[in-house]
Amino acid sequence: MSDPEQIFRKPRKSVTLIPAIGLLIILIGYVFVIYMVKDASDRLASKRSDLAVVTEELNAKLDTMTTLNNSIRVLQAERDSMERSLAKIDSITKYTTYSPVTIQKIITAATTTPKVIYVQVSDEKTRQFCADRKLLVQLKERGYSAYGYELVRSGANNSVRYFHAEDEQLAQDVAKVTNNVLNERSLFLKPVFSQGYGQKVQKGQVEIWLGVSPKVDVAKEIRVRQEIDPTILKREIK
């Protein structure tokens, strides 16, 4: 039989050996983790280096593109300048065949403020009266750009409205012409300055607002008077 003391010593050796193996495994795992972290860090550093190189290349290409865009803009500006110069040359060449009087008329038309008239009327009877008197035709024959007739529900107060102080004379002229053409007391026009619309309305534009219908049957009156004298209406319009 074995000595009892030897029996108890054997288990003590195996118990001591197990913790040593566990520590060795843990140490190996720790070293492996450190290696993997270092490897990942090295690869990340390599990627960062590659990214920096790519970024520098992209910046260089962007600088090149910016330079090209600037060059293109300069060329476009030079092209536009050349086109304007050619257009001026063409216009000069075009007008060399015209007489001095014609050239002066062209210059005057280009530099003169347009005279635009819009006619507003309060009802259909007034509109028909203006149409029978050929108001728009008469205004156009006097050099105005006349448009109408627009029916308005309110605000028609027998006035020629102007929106810029420098158009006062224009409004007076339009009122005089319109009064002569219509020749109707109930539709006598006066110039009225409408403030607050200068930014919305161009210079040289006025509006005729006719708001009181004539008291006579205009169509019947014209027929009767033309039967007596066919030239009477023409003389009144002039």
Backbone angles phi, psi at 184, to 5 degrees: -135, 120
Residue 236: per-residue pLDDT: 45
pTM (whole model) above 0.85 = no
Q: Bridge-partner residues for 191, per DSSP?
A: 160
**Which residue bears the tokens 């109408």?**
148
Determine if the peptide bond prior to 197 is cis (ω within 30°): no
215 to 15, 160, 184, 224: CA distances (angstroms): 132, 21, 9, 16
| Mean per-residue pLDDT over the chain, rounded | 78
- Residue from 89, 94, 88, 136 nearest 116 by CA: 136
Report which secondary-structure segment, H or E, holds 150: strand 145-151
The pLDDT confidence band at residue 42, using thresholds 50, 70 and 90, is: confident
Tokens of 191: 């110039």
pLDDT at position 206, please? 96
Q: Over the stretch 96-137, which tens digit does the pLDDT of each residue have?
A: 666 777 766 666 655 566 789 999 999 999 999 999 999 999
- Torsions phi, psi of 179, nearest 5? -65, -40
| Mean pLDDT calculated for residue range 143-147 | 92
**By percentage, how much of the chain surpasses pLDDT 90?**
31
Number of CB atoms found within 10 A of residue 184's CB: 20
